[in-house]
């Protein structure tokens, strides 16, 4: 999360004003939870969306897609009480930058902004976790778009 978003959340929690809430959520409808309830809320979300825990161990296994998840977000989640006891995140994190890497032009993996430009996806990168996740989904979909006959088209 970027500094502005953290400030907006702090303003909302202090004032609970509609203006502060609109800055935080925009068009989303989030539910705010305390850190100590996050694991239970997330596992309930997974279960409600058809992702079942392993019957033998009672743990959820999930794949994650994101530009900085493994090096940033996951570090915070690993510190959430109970997280490691119920959630297994596969170690292979999808970064769409490799899909937009140009061997001739690039000396490093392209940023999310550059990936969106190359995919001709409008809009600035928000540095908001939900909106950035949506950008990643759009980038991956763009590269592996389904054709009318149901086969993958590779660009």
Give 50's pLDDT tier (boundaries 50, 70, 90).
very high
Q: How many CB atoms lie within 10 A of CB 129?
A: 16
| pLDDT, position 39 | 93
In the predicted structure, residue 44 carries a pLDDT above the cut 70: yes
Q: What is the mean pLDDT of residues 65-76?
A: 76
3-class secondary structure, 146: strand
3-class secondary structure, 22: helix
C-beta of residue 98 within 8 angstroms of C-beta of residue 126: no
Instruction: Give this prediction's pTM.
Output: 0.62
DSSP class of residue 152 equals B
| pLDDT, position 147 | 41
| pLDDT, position 124 | 87
Q: What is the mean pLDDT of residues 41-61?
A: 89
Phi, psi of 41 (to 5 degrees): -65, -40
For residue 112 the two structure tokens come to 């999310």
| pLDDT, position 23 | 63
Instruction: Report CA-CA distances (Å) from 64 to 8, 20, 61, 100.
Output: 26, 29, 10, 19
115-134 confidence digits (pLDDT tens): 999 999 998 887 777 778 88
| pLDDT, position 69 | 76
| pLDDT, position 149 | 43
Return the C-alpha torsion angle 102, 108, 112, 114, nearest 10.
Answer: -50
Q: What is the mean pLDDT of residues 23-51?
A: 82
| pLDDT, position 121 | 92
Per-residue three-class SS string for 73-139? HHHHHCCCCCHHHHEEECCCCECHHHHHCCCCCCCCCCCHHHHHHHCCCCCCCCCCHHHHHHHHHHH
Q: Pick the most confident of 23-27, 39-43, 71-75.
A: 39-43
């Amino acid at each position: 999360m970027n500094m502005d978003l953290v400030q907006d959340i702090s303003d909302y929690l202090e004032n609970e004003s509609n203006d502060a809430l609109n800055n935080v959520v925009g068009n989303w409808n989030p539910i705010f939870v305390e850190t100590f309830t996050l694991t239970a809320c997330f596992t309930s979300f997974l279960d409600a969306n058809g992702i079942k825990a392993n019957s033998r161990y009672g743990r959820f296994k999930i794949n994650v897609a994101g530009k900085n998840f493994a090096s940033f977000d996951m570090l915070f989640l690993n510190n959430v009480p109970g997280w490691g006891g119920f959630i297994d995140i596969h170690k292979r994190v999808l970064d769409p930058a490799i899909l937009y890497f140009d061997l001739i032009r690039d000396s490093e993996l392209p940023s999310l902004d550059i990936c969106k430009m190359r995919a001709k996806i409008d809009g600035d990168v928000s540095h908001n976790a939900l909106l950035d996740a949506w950008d990643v989904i759009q980038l991956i979909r763009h590269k592996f778009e389904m054709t009318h006959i149901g086969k993958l088209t590779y660009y």
